[in-house]
Structure 1
Amino acid sequence: MEPGEPSAALTKTRREENRPKGRSDRSSDRSGDRSGDRSGRARDWQQLSRLFEQLPPHAIEAEMSLLGSMLIDPQVVGDVILLINRGDDFYKPANGAIFDVMVELYDRNGGLDIVQLNQVLADRDCLDSVGGLGYLVELAHAVPSAANALHYARLVREKARIRCLIEAAGDILHDAYNSPEDAQEILEEAEQRIFRIAQESDRGGAEALADLLRQTMEMIEANEGKMITGVPTGFAELDNMTHGFQRGEMIILAARPSMGKTAFALNIAELTALQKCGVAVFSLEMSRQQLVQRLLSARSGVNSQKLRRSMLNADDYHRLHVACDELMDASIFIDDTPGLSLLQMRAKARRLVAQHEIQAIIIDYLQLMSSGRRAESRQVEISEISRGVKAMARELNVPVVCLSQLNRAAEQREGHRPRMSDLRESGSIEQDADVVMMLHREEYYHQGDPDWAPNHPEKVGLAELIIAKQRNGPTGVVKLTWVSEITRFKDYSGAMAPAGFAEPAPGYGGSFHPGARSGPVTGFRDGGGPEQGEVGSGAGMPPI
Structure 2
Amino acid sequence: MSQEDKYYRLESEQGVLGSIMLASLQGDIGMVEDIVSQMTSADFHHQDNAALFEAIRDCLGQRMPVDAVTVGSVQRLLPSGQTTMAYAATLSRDVPSTANWKAYAQQVKKWALVRQFRDLGRAVDVGVGEDLPADEILDQCHMALADLRDLDTGEPDYKRMDDVVARNVDIIDAKFNGAIQAGLSTGLSDLDKLIRGLRKKTVTIVAGLPGSGKTTLGLQIAQHISCAGLGVGMVFSLEMPEEELANRALASLGSIDLQVLDNGKLEDDDWPRLTCAVNKIMDKPLYVSDKSGLTVPRIRSICRQVKSKHGLDVVVIDYIGLIGSDGKAFNRTAELGKISTGIVNIAKELDVPVILLAQLNRDSTKRLGKKPIASDLRDSGQIEADAHCIILVHRDMDSEEGQNGATELLMPKCRHAPVGSCIVQQQGKFARFVNFAGREPSQEEVEIGRPFSDQYKGRKKP
Q: Is 1:468 matched with 2:412?
A: yes
Q: Deviations over 1:71-117 (max 9, x none)?
A: xxxxxxxxxxxxxxxxx99x9xxxxxxxxxxxxxxxxxxxxxxxxxx
TM-score by length of 2: 0.65
Q: Which amino acid aligns with 1:274?
A: C
CA contact (8 A) 1:272 1:278 kept: yes
Which segments of structure 1 move beyond 6 Å, counting only runs of 4 or more? 165-168, 192-200
Shift of residue 180 of structure 1?
A: 5.2
Q: In the TM superposition, what whole-angstrom CA distance separates every residue of 1:12-31 from its partner, at most 9, and x where no partner exists? A: xxxxxxxxxxxxxxxxxxxx
Q: 1:343·1:371 contact (CA, 8 Å) conserved in 2?
A: no
Structure 1 contact 371–384 (Cα < 8 Å) conserved: no
Match of 1:437 in 2: 391
Please, which of 263, 281, 285 is the counterpart of residue 327 of structure 1? 281
Decide which of 213, 230, 255 is 1:260's aligned counterpart: 213
The Cα of 1:345 is off from its aligned counterpart by: 1.0
Q: CA deviation at 1:266?
A: 1.4
Residue by residue over 1:215-264, the C-alpha shift from the partner in whole angstroms, topping out at 9 and shown as x without a partner, is: 11100001115594122211112212322111110111010100011111
Q: Name which of 411, 414, 422 aligns with 1:478.
A: 422
Residue 238 of structure 1 corresponds to which residue in structure 2? 191
Deviation at 1:178, TM superposition (A): 2.6
State how far apart, in whole Å, the 1-side matches of 2:192 and 2:73 are: 44
Say which of 223, 239, 259 aligns to 2:175.
223
Residue in structure 1 matching 2:155, options 203, 210, 213: 203
In structure 2, the CA distance between the partners of 1:389 and 1:200, relative to structure 1 (3 Å rule), is: farther
TM-score for the superposition, normalised by structure 1? 0.55
1:203 deviates by 3.3
* Alpha carbons of structure 1 residues 352 and 392: separation in structure 2 relative to 1, 3 Å: same
Gaps of 5+ in 2: 15-38, 58-64, 75-87, 89-98, 107-150, 440-451
After TM superposition, the structure 1 = structure 2 runs for residues 139-218 of structure 1, keeping only pairs within 5 Å, are: 169=53, 172=56, 175-179=66-70, 201-218=153-170
Are 1:491 and 2:435 an aligned pair?
A: yes
Instruction: Tell me what 1:521 maps to.
Output: none
**Does the aligned pair in 1 maintain the 2:55–2:71 contact within 8 Å?**
no
* Cα distance, 1:169–1:194 mapped onto 2, change above 3 Å: farther
| 8 A Cα contact 1:438 1:465, kept in partner | yes
Matched position secondary structure for 2:422: strand
Deviation at 1:484, TM superposition (A): 1.5
Larger Rg: 1
What code does the residue aligned with 2:8 have? P
Tell me the secondary structure at the aligned position of residue 314 of structure 1: coil
Q: Distance in 2 between matches of 1:398 and 1:195?
A: 25
Partner of 1:69: none
8 Å CA contact 2:395, 2:402 repeated in 1? no
Q: Deviations over 1:312-367 (max 9, x none)?
A: 11110110011100111431001111111111111111111111111000000100
Q: Establish whether residue 413 from structure 1 lines up as the match of residue 367 from structure 2.
A: yes
How far, CA to CA, are the matches of 2:177 and 2:239 in structure 1? 40
1:12 match: none
**Aligned with residue 8 of structure 2, among 53, 57, 64:** 57
The equivalent of 2:447 in structure 1 is none
| Secondary structure of 2:337's aligned partner | helix
SS at match of 2:239: coil
> Amino acid of the residue matched to residue 421 of structure 1?
S
CA RMSD, aligned part only?
A: 3.9
Counterpart amino acid of residue 206 in structure 1:
Y
Shift of 1:473: 1.6
Aligned residues: 336
Distance across 2 between alignment mates of 1:413 and 1:391:
34
Q: Using the alignment, how far apart are the partners of 2:56 and 2:184 within structure 1?
A: 38
Deviation of residue 56 (structure 1)? 6.8
Partner letter of residue 229 of structure 1?
A
Partners of 1:195 and 1:301 in 2: how far apart?
A: 52
In 1, Cα distance between equivalents of 2:368 and 2:73: 51
| Identity value in percent | 28
Following superposition, the deviation at residue 395 of structure 1 comes to: 0.5
